[in-house]
Structure 1
Amino acid sequence: MADPENSKAINNGLNAVGTVHFARFLPDSGFLLGNSQTLWVLTEYDGTFDQYIQDFVNQMGPVFDKLLSFVVDPPPLPVESHIEAFEKWVDAHNEKSNLYSAYPTLTVQTILNNS
């Protein structure tokens, strides 16, 4: 996960999406060894879930295809060709939680433009 090629693709994709405040990919300790299928993707983003997923796929579809090749019962690949199925799959595996924000009305673009 932390190899330079994937890190660069992920960072470039997140910058291109332009709505993600924070993102973290957390594999279970055995994920890359094939001993676990648990990978957490934790993000805070502006906008709707559907738009966020579409933006992610448009910018980082091949990265998700690589990651999903390790997952049991992944959505159809490539995700770019199956965006709706990928959205449904992510939503079905999404852990809903409350989120606190000290600046709930500020978007990523507003923050970047005023920094």
Structure 2
Amino acid sequence: MTATRTTDHPVQHPLTLVMTVRSADDRRALQAKVEALQALPRERNPVVRALDTIGTVHFARFVLLDEQRLAVITTYDGDFEAYLHDFVDHVGDVFTDLLQHVADGPPLPVQQHRQEFLDYVRRHDLGCVPPFYSAYPARTVLDIVSAGA
């Protein structure tokens, strides 16, 4: 075991954003939008391109938890607010499109309502029961990519 494995505060942070869908029609619309987005080739998927450009996200996925909830689950490096600002800058249109189908969502478009979007994500982030485990707690995405992993 290396010294980096004993780090109590990893550079990575979990996000488990769980949003309540407005209606059955909104659920169908969200599912269709997410599936269409995820079906795009990597080079044409705006979320994948943004994740590659931002360079701080280890893992990301959309999960339709049930008929009433959509989750966005990620593991990212660094500061929460900087991370969300990066998302607004790179894929704000995608979030605006998805958030129109959720109950008690922030004002839209998110690009014009950044603080409200950050507050919304904070309120709907389920977090985790600490500690957050990481096999490589001191390594950022950029560290891993530069090491050739």
TM category (shorter chain) comes to: 0.7 to 0.9
Aligned-pair CA distance for 1:114: 1.1
Match of 1:2, SS state, is: helix
Equivalent in 90, 104, 119 of residue 59 of structure 1: 90
Aligned residues: 109
Equivalent in 74, 83, 90 of residue 114 of structure 2: 83
- 5+ unaligned residues in a row in structure 1: which ranges? 31-35
Q: Does 1:9 align with 2:46?
A: yes
Mapping 1:23-38, distance limit 5 Å: 23-30=60-67, 36=68, 38=69
What does the per-residue CA deviation read over 1:39-63, in whole Å, with 9 as the maximum and x for residues that have no partner? 1111100001111110111111011
Q: Percent identity?
A: 40
Q: Does 1:112 align with 2:145?
A: yes
Q: TM-score, normalised by structure 1?
A: 0.88
Quick check: which one's strand share is greater? 2
- Which segments of structure 1 move beyond 4 Å, counting only runs of 4 or more? none
Q: Could you say which structure has the greater relative contact order, defined with CA pairs below 8 angstroms and 6 or more residues apart? A: 2
Q: TM-score, normalised by structure 2?
A: 0.69
Aligned-pair CA distance for 1:96: 1.7
Structure having the higher Rg: 2
Residue 145 of structure 2 aligns to which amino acid in structure 1? L
